[in-house]
């Protein structure tokens, strides 16, 4: 159940609201509008007065609602109307008028509009338009002339909605924490539909601004990227000339006067205000940390592969910074993806956007390598031989998002956990499509049976607890190919296998052969050590006992086995 509070202003706000509630709607969506409850239970009902002119009844109802406001004269509040649509989920049972009336009374009581038993409370009505929702409209002056105590009414109404869902056995939504992005209003949705657009302007702007923040190395590039994507920017300047805020608009999105409709960055999302954007751009700068020259696909994969360790072992500030960087990487990834998986990656990025925000202030220093390498991929489109770089990055992102879901769960971030879970669904779909041709190409180049027998012995010796799963995995032929390619480049196959196994445990891998394939592909493309260095490393390896693998959260490992193949 979703309640959303809207405030109305102006001398005719009450009349406008009543006309809208009992009208046909902006898209003829209002069917049989009628009262289900009111402050005194006998307010005039324009929808159930067949022997009177509807306009006259609307005038009478508006006048009665507005009477306390009118009594204050010039002292009346600027925002005089409190409007709260309350919508049930599509799968919820159809509620009766009496049930909706009870819900309306609980909502206005929770909001401080009309506390139970308070005879001097604000005047209000609840109008039902259709089976699945009502609109509550109230005037924000009590009948004793005082203002209602409605501090944090949005949070209070949301809490009450969660209780109503339990009591009426409705779909239970996740409790929020005030860090979610603002949803488009009904008016914005209808406007987009009328203009034939797939998404509301607010959602389009949020995506474009987020992508510009993720891609830009500094403020100048940020504004240049917005201009390149047809976003109009208007800065709010202080007396000193410094920029205090930033508003964004889309071309063609105008009001009834033909003026551009601007959205403040903070109303697109809490982390898109100009001060927050400044902080992220400073954290992205090349100083004092720089990314060493190399394959940016490998650098991004290696940085993403370290995220689970940060989520397990680092403090919350570092972990939050890693999640923000992962969200930025997902924002940029669709631009570099094959056409067949772009849509799934767009949906994954949109879902994970919610998982990047909490009340924890992120420490972004540890995530600079991931941000810089993703910017290089986005800007330079580096060569990705047979798509393996893209596939291995997707592989590490899947694991990172699974750990992000666990991290949010342990901190009771319900909405963020659900967002990460939804992200996994879209990433799995993209991963399956992106990796199938890469693995098939590798398997087609599988080495001789003699070489595969030797690699089999390496696997059985190096990782006996996973050997059976690896050798029976459909990706075994691809793994054998990358081992052979590593040898051809001058690496020792057993050493490379040991290095790959040492990067992360295979306990949470649905397909350990795929996981090793991407790791060894990355290791194999590095500069091979000299024969003397290989001999020294082998002697050191024999003299050193292997270190135990750190324990992983069992809930994450279990989550991985319950989902579609990840690797």
**Chain centre distance of CA 110:** 29
Tell whether omega for the bond before 460 is within 30 degrees of 0, i.e. cis: no
Confidence of residue 554 (pLDDT cuts 50, 70, 90): very low
Residue corresponding to tokens 């990834």: 333
Confidence of residue 530 (pLDDT cuts 50, 70, 90): low
* Extended strands (E) in 373-441: none
Question: Any bridge partners for residue 137, and if so which?
Answer: 83, 125
Residue 288 has pLDDT above 50, yes or no: no
What pLDDT, on the 0 to 100 scale, is given for residue 548? 46
What pLDDT, on the 0 to 100 scale, is given for residue 567? 43
* Extended strands (E) in 114-255: 124-130, 133-139, 232-237, 243-249
Which of 174-178, 180-184, 242-246, 393-397 is the least confident region? Answer: 174-178
Instruction: Name the token pair of 508.
Output: 């949470």
Confidence of residue 508 (pLDDT cuts 50, 70, 90): low
Q: How many CB atoms neighbour CB 439 within 10 A?
A: 22
Q: Quick one: average pLDDT of 498-508?
A: 81
Dist. CA 176–CA 174, nearest whole Å: 6
Q: Quick one: average pLDDT of 448-463?
A: 93
Please list the alpha-helical segments (H only) found in 112-172. 153-167
Virtual CA dihedral for 112, 116, 121, 122, nearest 10 degrees? 60
Q: Quick one: average pLDDT of 515-526?
A: 86
Q: Quick one: average pLDDT of 289-295?
A: 60
Tell me: the pLDDT tens digits for 101-138? 999 999 999 999 999 999 999 999 999 988 899 999 99
How do beta strands 6-9 and 243-249 pair? unpaired
What pLDDT, on the 0 to 100 scale, is given for residue 286? 52
Q: Quick one: average pLDDT of 307-319?
A: 94
What pLDDT, on the 0 to 100 scale, is given for residue 531? 56
Query: Do the beta carbons of residue 86 and residue 133 sit within 8 Å?
Result: yes
pTM over 0.85: no
What pLDDT, on the 0 to 100 scale, is given for residue 282? 82
DSSP-derived 3-state class of residue 222: helix
Query: Do the beta carbons of residue 439 and residue 514 sit within 8 Å?
Result: yes
Which of 136-150, 272-286, 295-309, 550-564 is the least confident region? Answer: 550-564
Virtual CA dihedral for 399, 403, 406, 411, nearest 10 degrees? -160
Dist. CA 388–CA 443, nearest whole Å: 13
3-class SS shares of the chain: helix, strand, coil, % to 5: 55, 10, 35
* DSSP, residue by residue, 293-361: SS-HHHHHHHHHHTHHHHHHHS-HHHHHHHHHHHHHHHHHHHHHS-HHHHHHHHHHHHHHGGGG--SSP
Query: Do the beta carbons of residue 535 and residue 543 sit within 8 Å?
Result: no
Dist. CA 125–CA 248, nearest whole Å: 36
What pLDDT, on the 0 to 100 scale, is given for residue 565? 41
Tell me: the pLDDT tens digits for 242-281? 888 899 999 989 988 889 999 999 999 999 999 999 888 8
Mean of pLDDT over the chain? 87
Residue 534 has pLDDT above 60, yes or no: no
Confidence of residue 382 (pLDDT cuts 50, 70, 90): confident
Which of 112-126, 425-439, 538-552 is the least confident region? Answer: 538-552
What pLDDT, on the 0 to 100 scale, is given for residue 528? 64
Among 216-220, 284-288, 406-410, 508-512, top mean pLDDT goes to 406-410
Percent residues over pLDDT 90 in the chain: 63
What pLDDT, on the 0 to 100 scale, is given for residue 321? 95
Virtual CA dihedral for 10, 13, 16, 22, nearest 10 degrees? 170
Q: Three-state secondary structure along 463-506?
A: CHHHHHHHHCCCCHHHHHHHHHHHHHCCCCHHHHHHHHHHHCCC
Percent residues over pLDDT 70 in the chain: 90
User: What phi-psi label fits residue 484: left (phi over 0), alpha (psi between -120 and 50 degrees) or beta?
Assistant: alpha
Query: Do the beta carbons of residue 106 and residue 157 sit within 8 Å?
Result: no
Residue 529 has pLDDT above 90, yes or no: no
Question: Any bridge partners for residue 214, and if so which?
Answer: none
Dist. CA 567–CA 435, nearest whole Å: 9
């Amino acid at each position: 159940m979703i309640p959303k509070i809207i405030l109305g202003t102006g001398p005719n706000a009450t009349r406008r609201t009543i006309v809208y509630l009992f009208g046909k709607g902006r898209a003829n969506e209002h069917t049989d509008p009628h009262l289900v409850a009111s402050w005194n239970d006998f307010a005039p009902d324009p929808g159930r007065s067949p022997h009177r002119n509807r306009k006259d009844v609307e005038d009478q109802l508006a006048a009665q609602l507005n009477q306390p406001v009118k009594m204050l004269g010039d002292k009346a509040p600027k925002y005089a109307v409190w409007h709260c649509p309350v919508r049930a989920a599509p799968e919820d049972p159809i509620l009766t008028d009496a049930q909706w009336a009870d819900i309306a009374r609980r909502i206005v009581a929770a909001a401080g509009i009309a506390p139970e038993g308070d005879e001097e409370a604000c005047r209000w009505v609840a109008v039902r338009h259709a089976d699945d929702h009502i609109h509550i409209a109230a005037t924000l002056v009590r009948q004793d002339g005082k203002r209602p105590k409605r501090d944090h009414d949005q949070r209070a109404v949301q809490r009450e909605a969660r209780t109503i869902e339990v009591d009426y056995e409705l779909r239970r939504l996740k409790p929020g924490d005030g860090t979610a992005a603002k949803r488009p209003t009904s008016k914005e949705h209808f406007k987009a539909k009328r203009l034939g657009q797939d998404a509301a302007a607010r959602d389009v702007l949020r995506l474009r601004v987020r992508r510009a923040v993720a891609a830009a190395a500094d403020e100048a590039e940020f504004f240049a990227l917005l201009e390149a994507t047809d976003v109009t920017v208007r800065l709010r300047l202080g007396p000193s000339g410094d920029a205090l805020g930033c508003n964004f608009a889309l071309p063609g999105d105008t009001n009834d006067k033909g003026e551009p409709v601007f959205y403040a960055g903070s109303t697109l999302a809490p982390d898109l205000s100009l001060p927050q954007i400044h902080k992220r751009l400073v954290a992205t700068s090349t100083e004092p940390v720089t990314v060493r020259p190399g394959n940016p696909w490998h650098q991004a994969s290696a940085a993403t592969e370290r995220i689970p360790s940060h989520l397990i072992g680092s403090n919350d500030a570092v972990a939050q910074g890693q999640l923000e960087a992962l969200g930025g990487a997902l924002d940029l990834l669709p631009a570099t993806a094959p056409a067949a998986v772009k849509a799934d990656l767009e949906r994954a990025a949109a879902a994970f956007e919610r998982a990047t925000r909490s009340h924890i202030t992120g420490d972004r220093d540890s995530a600079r390598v991931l941000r810089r390498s993703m910017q290089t991929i986005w800007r330079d489109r580096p060569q990705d031989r047979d798509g393996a770089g893209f596939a291995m990055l997707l592989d590490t992102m899947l694991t990172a998002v699974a750990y992000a879901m666990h991290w949010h769960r342990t901190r009771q971030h319900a909405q963020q956990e659900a967002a990460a879970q939804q992200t996994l669904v879209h990433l799995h779909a993209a991963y399956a499509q992106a990796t199938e041709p890469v693995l098939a190409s590798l398997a087609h180049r599988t080495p001789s049976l003699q070489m595969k027998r030797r690699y089999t012995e390496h696997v059985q010796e190096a990782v006996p607890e996973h050997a059976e799963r690896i050798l029976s995995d459909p990706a075994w032929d691809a793994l054998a190919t990358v081992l052979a390619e590593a040898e051809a480049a001058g690496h020792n196959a057993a050493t490379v296998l040991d290095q790959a196994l040492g990067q992360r445990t295979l306990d949470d891998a649905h397909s350990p052969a795929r996981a090793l394939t991407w790791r060894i592909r990355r290791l194999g493309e590095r500069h091979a050590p000299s024969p003397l260095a290989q001999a020294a490393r082998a002697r050191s390896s024999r003299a050193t006992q292997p270190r135990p693998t750190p324990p992983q959260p069992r809930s994450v490992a279990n989550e991985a086995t319950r989902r579609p193949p990840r690797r």
